[in-house]
Protein backbone atom coordinates (compact mmCIF):
# COMPACT_ATOMS: atom_id res chain seq x y z
CA UNK A 1 0.00 0.00 0.00
CA UNK A 2 0.94 3.66 -0.20
CA UNK A 3 0.95 5.26 3.22
CA UNK A 4 0.06 8.94 3.11
CA UNK A 5 0.95 10.86 6.21
CA UNK A 6 3.17 13.70 7.27
CA UNK A 7 6.66 13.22 8.64
CA UNK A 8 8.00 16.22 10.47
CA UNK A 9 5.24 18.33 8.96
CA UNK A 10 6.10 17.31 5.39
CA UNK A 11 3.45 15.33 3.49
CA UNK A 12 4.93 12.05 2.29
CA UNK A 13 3.81 8.94 0.51
CA UNK A 14 5.61 5.82 1.67
CA UNK A 15 5.52 2.48 -0.06
CA UNK A 16 4.87 -0.26 2.50
CA UNK A 17 2.99 -3.37 3.53
CA UNK A 18 0.09 -2.57 5.90
CA UNK A 19 1.32 -4.92 8.61
CA UNK A 20 4.93 -3.82 8.54
CA UNK A 21 6.23 -2.14 11.65
CA UNK A 22 6.13 1.61 11.25
CA UNK A 23 9.74 1.73 12.47
CA UNK A 24 10.89 -0.40 9.54
CA UNK A 25 8.96 1.66 7.04
CA UNK A 26 10.44 4.88 8.37
CA UNK A 27 13.99 3.54 8.40
CA UNK A 28 13.62 2.21 4.88
CA UNK A 29 12.41 5.65 3.80
CA UNK A 30 15.60 7.18 5.15
CA UNK A 31 14.51 8.33 8.60
CA UNK A 32 17.55 6.73 10.18
CA UNK A 33 17.05 8.70 13.36
CA UNK A 34 14.41 6.12 14.25
CA UNK A 35 16.48 3.41 15.94
CA UNK A 36 15.40 -0.11 16.66
CA UNK A 37 16.82 -2.31 19.36
CA UNK A 38 14.25 -4.85 20.51
CA UNK A 39 11.35 -4.89 18.08
CA UNK A 40 9.02 -5.92 20.93
CA UNK A 41 8.03 -2.65 22.57
CA UNK A 42 10.39 -3.00 25.52
CA UNK A 43 13.18 -0.52 24.91
CA UNK A 44 11.65 2.72 23.63
CA UNK A 45 14.46 3.40 21.16
CA UNK A 46 12.04 3.51 18.25
CA UNK A 47 9.82 6.14 19.85
CA UNK A 48 8.21 8.65 17.52
CA UNK A 49 5.34 11.02 18.08
CA UNK A 50 2.13 10.03 16.37
CA UNK A 51 -0.21 13.00 16.46
CA UNK A 52 2.02 14.42 19.20
CA UNK A 53 1.82 11.30 21.38
CA UNK A 54 4.89 9.11 21.96
CA UNK A 55 4.48 5.60 20.58
CA UNK A 56 6.84 2.68 20.01
CA UNK A 57 7.04 2.59 16.23
CA UNK A 58 8.19 -1.04 16.25
CA UNK A 59 4.91 -2.04 17.85
CA UNK A 60 2.53 -0.16 15.64
CA UNK A 61 1.65 -1.38 12.20
CA UNK A 62 2.28 0.99 9.34
CA UNK A 63 -1.28 1.30 8.10
CA UNK A 64 -2.28 2.80 11.44
CA UNK A 65 -0.31 5.93 10.53
CA UNK A 66 -2.44 6.65 7.47
CA UNK A 67 -3.47 10.28 7.46
CA UNK A 68 -1.65 11.07 10.67
CA UNK A 69 1.26 13.24 11.71
CA UNK A 70 4.57 11.58 12.52
CA UNK A 71 7.32 13.44 14.31
CA UNK A 72 10.83 12.12 14.63
CA UNK A 73 13.65 13.73 16.55
CA UNK A 74 14.56 15.59 13.36
CA UNK A 75 11.19 17.31 13.52
CA UNK A 76 12.01 18.76 16.92
CA UNK A 77 15.50 19.93 16.08
CA UNK A 78 15.47 23.04 18.17
CA UNK A 79 14.06 21.44 21.30
CA UNK A 80 16.29 18.41 20.87
CA UNK A 81 19.30 20.63 20.60
CA UNK A 82 18.37 22.49 23.75
CA UNK A 83 17.84 19.40 25.85
CA UNK A 84 20.75 17.77 24.03
CA UNK A 85 23.09 20.47 25.23
CA UNK A 86 22.29 19.55 28.84
CA UNK A 87 22.77 15.87 28.11
CA UNK A 88 26.10 16.54 26.44
CA UNK A 89 27.25 18.84 29.22
CA UNK A 90 26.48 16.14 31.75
CA UNK A 91 28.26 13.51 29.68
CA UNK A 92 25.02 11.64 30.16
CA UNK A 93 24.91 9.82 26.89
CA UNK A 94 27.36 7.15 25.93
CA UNK A 95 26.90 5.29 22.69
CA UNK A 96 23.98 7.58 21.91
CA UNK A 97 21.96 4.84 20.28
CA UNK A 98 19.12 5.32 22.75
CA UNK A 99 19.30 9.12 22.64
CA UNK A 100 16.80 10.03 19.90
CA UNK A 101 14.04 7.92 21.47
CA UNK A 102 14.91 9.11 24.93
CA UNK A 103 15.00 12.79 24.00
CA UNK A 104 11.74 12.57 22.09
CA UNK A 105 9.99 10.91 25.04
CA UNK A 106 11.52 13.38 27.44
CA UNK A 107 10.21 16.28 25.35
CA UNK A 108 6.74 14.73 25.31
CA UNK A 109 7.02 14.32 29.05
CA UNK A 110 7.95 17.94 29.50
CA UNK A 111 4.82 18.98 27.64
CA UNK A 112 2.63 16.69 29.70
CA UNK A 113 4.15 17.72 33.00
CA UNK A 114 3.75 21.36 32.10
CA UNK A 115 0.15 20.83 31.11
CA UNK A 116 -0.39 19.24 34.52
CA UNK A 117 1.18 22.30 36.09
CA UNK A 118 4.19 20.57 37.60
CA UNK A 119 6.37 23.12 39.35
CA UNK A 120 9.50 21.57 40.81
CA UNK A 121 11.03 18.75 38.82
CA UNK A 122 9.61 15.50 40.18
CA UNK A 123 12.35 12.98 39.60
CA UNK A 124 10.30 9.95 40.57
CA UNK A 125 7.53 10.93 38.19
CA UNK A 126 10.12 11.46 35.46
CA UNK A 127 11.72 8.08 36.10
CA UNK A 128 8.31 6.47 35.83
CA UNK A 129 7.39 8.33 32.66
CA UNK A 130 10.69 7.39 31.04
CA UNK A 131 10.90 3.83 32.38
CA UNK A 132 10.19 2.44 28.93
CA UNK A 133 13.30 4.12 27.54
CA UNK A 134 16.02 1.65 28.29
CA UNK A 135 19.70 2.49 28.13
CA UNK A 136 22.37 -0.10 28.64
CA UNK A 137 25.34 2.26 28.76
CA UNK A 138 24.69 5.16 31.01
CA UNK A 139 23.17 3.90 34.23
CA UNK A 140 20.48 6.60 33.80
CA UNK A 141 21.87 8.87 36.51
CA UNK A 142 23.34 11.36 34.05
CA UNK A 143 20.07 11.44 32.10
CA UNK A 144 18.23 12.40 35.25
CA UNK A 145 20.77 15.03 36.25
CA UNK A 146 20.56 16.57 32.80
CA UNK A 147 16.76 16.54 32.80
CA UNK A 148 16.60 18.20 36.19
CA UNK A 149 18.92 21.00 35.12
CA UNK A 150 17.06 21.43 31.86
CA UNK A 151 13.72 21.57 33.65
CA UNK A 152 14.98 24.03 36.21
CA UNK A 153 16.43 26.28 33.54
CA UNK A 154 13.19 26.36 31.61
CA UNK A 155 10.50 25.98 34.23
CA UNK A 156 12.27 27.00 37.38
Partner 1 sequence: MNIATYRRPSNLDEAYDLVVKQGAYPLGGGAWSMSVGRPIASAVDLCDLGLRYIRVEGKNIAVGAMATARDLERSSLLADVFGPLFPEALGGIAGVQVRNIVTAGGSVAGRYGFSELLVVLLALDASLVFYNDGTRPLSEYLGAPRGGAFLLEKILLPLDKKASYQGLRHAATDFPVLSVCACRARAGWRIAVGARPGVAAICPGAGASLGSTGSPGEQMALEAGRIAAGELSFGEDLRAGAEYRRSVCSVLVARAIRRISYDS
Partner 2 sequence: MDKSYSVVHRSLAKIDALGLIQGKPAYTDDLAPGDALVVKLLRSPYAFAKIKSIDKSQALAVGGVACILDWKDVPRIPYTRAGQGHPEPSPHDRFILDNYVRYIGDEVAIVAAEDEATAEKAISLIKVEYEILEPLLDFEKAIDNTVVVHPESEIHDMFPIGFEPGRNIAASYKMRIGDVEKELSASDVVLRRSFFTQAQAHVAMEPHAAFASLDIHGRLVIVSSTQNPFHTRRLLAQSLGIPIRDLRVVKPRIGGGFGGKQHIHVEPFVALVALATKRSARIALTRKEVFESTFTRHRMRIDIEAGANRNGVLNVMDVRVLSDTGAYGEHALTVFMVAGSKTLPLYNKMKAVGYGGAVVYTNHLSAGAFRGYGAIQGNFALESMMDEIAHEIHMDPIEFRERNMIREGQTSEVFKIMGEGSEGVEMVIESCKLDRCIARGRELIGWDSKRLSWEVSPGIVRAHGMAIAMQGSGIPLVDMGSATLELQDGGWFKLRVGATDLGTGSDTILAQIAAEALGVGPEDIKVYASDTDHSPFDVGAYASSTTYVSGNAVLKTALAMRKVLVEAVAEKYALKPECVEFDGKNFFGPEGAMLTNLVDLSFDTLYHDRALMKTLSSTASFTGGKAPPPYMAGFAEIEVDLGTGKVKLLRYVAVVDCGTTINPNLARIQVEGGLLQGIGMALFERVVFGDRGKLMTNSLSRYAIPSREDVGEIIVEFAESYEPSGPYGAKSVGEIGIDTPPAAIANAIYNAIGVRLPQTPFTPDVVWKAILEHDPGPTTPKNLRPQTQLPR
**Residues making contact with partner 2 (CB under 8 A):** 32-35, 37-43, 45, 72-74, 77, 80-81, 83-85, 87-100, 103, 127-128, 130-144
Q: Per CB under 8 A, does 100 bind partner 1?
A: no
Q: Identify which of residues 121 and 129 has a Cβ nearer to partner 1 in the complex.
A: 129
Q: In 3D, which of 64, 66, 72 has the Cα closest to residue 27?
A: 72
Binding region for ligand FES (CB under 6 A) out of 24-32, 68-76, 119-127, 131-139: 131-139
User: Which distant-in-sequence residues (6+ apart) come within 8 Å of 77 by Cβ?
Assistant: none
Q: Per CB under 6 A, does 40 bind ligand FAD?
A: yes
Binding region for ligand FES (CB under 6 A) out of 75-83, 92-100, 121-129, 148-156: 92-100
Instruction: Give 74's DSSP letter.
Output: G
CB 101 within 8 A of CB 36: no
C-alpha 33/C-alpha 50 separation (Å) is 15
47 binds, among ligand FAD, partner 2, partner 1, none (CB under 5 to 8 A by kind): partner 1
CB 133 within 8 A of CB 102: yes
Q: Per CB under 6 A, does 138 bind ligand FES?
A: yes
Q: In 3D, which of 54, 59, 35, 55 has the Cα closest to residue 46?
A: 35
Between residue 42 and residue 71, which ones bind ligand FAD under the rule CB under 6 A? 42, 59
Amino acid sequence: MILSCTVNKKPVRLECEPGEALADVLRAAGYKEVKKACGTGNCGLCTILLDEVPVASCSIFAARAEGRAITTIQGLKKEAEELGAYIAAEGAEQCGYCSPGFVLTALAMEREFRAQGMGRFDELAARHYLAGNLCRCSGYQGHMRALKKYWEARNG
